[in-house]
Amino acid sequence: MTVEPGAAAEPLARGGGVALWRQIFGEIEREIAAGRYSPGARLPTEQAFTARFGVNRHTIRRAMEELEAAGLVRVEQGRGTFVAEDVLDYRLGTRTRFTEVIRRQNREPSGRILRVAEVPADAAVAAALGLGRGRPVVKADRLGLVDGRPVLVGSHFFSAVRFPRIAAELATDPSVTRALAAGGVPDYRRRTTRVTARMPTPEEAGLLQQSRTRPVLATETVNTDPQGEPVEAGWSCYAAGRVQIVVET
């Protein structure tokens, strides 16, 4: 497909002292600010912009480069260019609760329990909770959402002996905080958080609604009661493009 010079192209001030790519940069910047393209949405292709503005692809790419440097868009080879989403800061502290962390950013948290089951503790769970291997624990798989979009999925483990009714609690209310309160632990503290990166399982990618080729932030956490006794251990993963873990020291 060829485009006649200037045919149906938007008016750009050629030779007016302002470089073409700067004008295009400003135009797209304004459109994003105006909400014409919403966060996470795919922008038109470079090809399409080339036709729209009647310029060479290099010129479009120069503008895109600057838009990316300014943090307004994210360019992915083979996929397209996307309007940057505001990344959520997941701030870690001694009182780290999903709901509170999200609310503090003026976003709306929600959760959904996917599955609750009583299982024997494997080596890792046993070590984290300070139990013997094979002791009964309650495993709760949970999806965490922010403004309706999934951002984290993971499994929480609790001693089935200390919290005999927690499976039933969680089945009716996805809040870990309230489930622990009902089990006699009105307050708890985050003891450790270990963070690493890995590729998601197909199931995780599906639940997080993200590509299987994009990595996730994987965490291992331990929460204790005020006496320092572990009450919950969790293995979660976060959609890396939508969340950033922040540590202030």
Q: Which of 96, 95, 160, 97 is nearest to 125 (CA)?
A: 160
Residues 127-186 within binding reach of its own copies (CB under 8 A): none
Is 71 a binder of its own copies (CB under 8 A)? Answer: yes
Q: How far is the CB of 7 from its own copies (least distance, A)?
A: 36
Q: Which of 44, 80, 93, 111 binds its own copies (CB under 8 A)?
A: 93
- Three-class HEC string of 94-138: CCCCHHHHHHCCCCCEEEEEEEEEEEECCHHHHHHHCCCCCCEEE
The Cβ of residue 210 has, within 10 Å, a number of other Cβ atoms equal to 19
Q: Which of 9, 75, 181, 199 binds its own copies (CB under 8 A)?
A: 199
Nearer CB in complex with its own copies: 52/97: 97
Is 211 a binder of its own copies (CB under 8 A)? Answer: no
Amino acid at 217: L
| CB-based burial label for 86 (10 Å; 0-12, 13-18, 19+) | exposed
For DNA, the binding residues (CB under 7 A) are 15, 19-22, 43, 45-47, 54-56, 58-59, 61-62, 64, 75-81, 211-213
For its own copies, the binding residues (CB under 8 A) are 69-71, 87, 89, 92-94, 96, 122-124, 189-199, 213-217, 240, 243-249
